[in-house]
Amino acid sequence: QLIAFKITNKNKEFQRQNYRYNYNASLLLCKPVFLKLCGISDHFLLAIQKHLQEKGLTERTHGNTGRVPKLKSKVFLDSSITFPVKCFLEQYGNINGLPSPMRHKNESEPFIYLPTGNTYTSVYNEFKKHFNNENSENTKIISYFTFRKLWHEMIPHLKFQPPASDLCEVCETFKAKLVVAKSDIEEYNKIKTQYDQHCIAADRERQHYNDNINKSAKDLSIAHVCYDWAQCVSIPYSPQRVGAIYFKNPFSVHLFGVCKTEGGQNFQLNFVIGENEFPEDTSKGANTTLNMSKNQEPEAKIEEPEAKIEEPE
């Protein structure tokens, strides 16, 4: 039999309550051994002692008595809830996503990347608009955390593009300013407005570029030529350089590509230019770019009266 004795010092104004733990009222025990023999925790013992001090030797009622269990208050996700979320994400990925040929070794489907400007919150807000249009006002919508959980479970191959895959100097500058201006609401809203205007202008330019591609595909009198400055390549250029200097100061070689796709006849012309071959003060200017783009036209046999030459984003 395990017994806990209480000793109260009644001789002083301040009554301090001490506890002595015994086994069969004869064998003294320390507190850790008493807890081990009773199979209880220190927190549970303190709760019992507090109840004894406040209410005496009365029956102790657990604090959760009468409350609805947490599991019973939850809504179980069945097909009527998960299926609309899956259909929305698949359609959203088909419209706004960019398929990637790469896939993880443990994944069965290729990744679909959403633009870097999208977030889980923005996609969830789009889902709420779609849900409210398809259902009545009294129909409850799933929470953000449930939406994100279902996304990872059902559409794991739908991801966001990493920031490094779509770098824009203006966007990165605005993002850095937004982080600094979080404490000042007025300044934050001002920068956010400028950032949104920049994104709208970029979307218009991107839409104009895509419209020209579609127009040239339907109208054979228009040729759409696409060019891009690739990342420069650094190579060692002098075998006489000794030691680590051989790799520290390499020679920069710039790559410029122009391609034309029309009627199944694909043509691409690549320019390899050394850093010492550019005109002075206009290394990648408009004149250099247009000269190489125009040089591609006779090679690609472009004879259409109208040709749109643009740089993709």
- Give residue 141's pLDDT: 86
Residue 91's Cβ-side half-sphere holds a number of Cα atoms within 13 Å equal to 9
Q: What is the mean pLDDT of the chain?
A: 76
Cβ(206)–Cβ(96) under 8 Å?
no
310, pLDDT greater than 60: no
Is there a single domain that holds both residue 205 and residue 239?
no
pTM (predicted TM-score) = 0.39
Is there a single domain that holds both residue 245 and residue 294?
yes
Task: Tell me the C-alpha distance between 197 and 285, whole Å.
Answer: 26
Residue 66, domain member (yes or no): no
Among residues 295, 309, 302, the alpha carbon closest in space to that of 227 is found at 309
Is there a single domain that holds both residue 160 and residue 172?
no
Tell me the per-residue pLDDT of 161-218, one tens digit each, with 9 for 90 and over: 876 555 677 888 888 898 888 888 899 899 989 999 998 998 888 888 888 878 877 8
Is there a single domain that holds both residue 40 and residue 84?
no
- Give residue 103's pLDDT: 55
- Give residue 124's pLDDT: 93
Percent helix, strand and coil across the chain, each rounded to 5? 45, 20, 35
254 pairs with which residues across the strands? Answer: 273
The structural domain count of the chain equals: 4
Residue 180, domain member (yes or no): yes
Residue 268, domain member (yes or no): yes
Among residues 14, 12, 52, 45, the alpha carbon closest in space to that of 29 is found at 45
- Give residue 6's pLDDT: 57
Residue 173, domain member (yes or no): yes
Is there a single domain that holds both residue 157 and residue 138?
yes
DSSP secondary structure of 269-286: EEEEEETTSSPTT-TT-H
Is there a single domain that holds both residue 149 and residue 99?
yes
Tell me the per-residue pLDDT of 92-139, one tens digit each, with 9 for 90 and over: 988 888 776 555 555 566 788 888 778 899 999 999 998 888 888 788
| Residue 81, domain extent | 77-166
Residue 109, domain member (yes or no): yes
Q: Which is it for strands 112-114 and 2-8: parallel, antiparallel or unpaired? A: unpaired
Residues 42-60: b if buried by 16+ CB within 10 A, e if exposed: eeebeeeeeebeeeeeeee
| Arithmetic mean of pLDDT, 5-32 | 72
Is there a single domain that holds both residue 172 and residue 202?
yes
User: Within a 10 A sphere around the Cβ of 3, how many other Cβ atoms?
Assistant: 13
CB-based burial label for 100 (10 Å; 0-12, 13-18, 19+): middle
Is there a single domain that holds both residue 42 and residue 102?
no
Q: What is the CA radius of gyration of the chain?
A: 36
Tell me the per-residue pLDDT of 36-93, one tens digit each, with 9 for 90 and over: 888 888 988 888 888 888 888 888 887 777 776 665 556 566 778 888 899 999 999 8
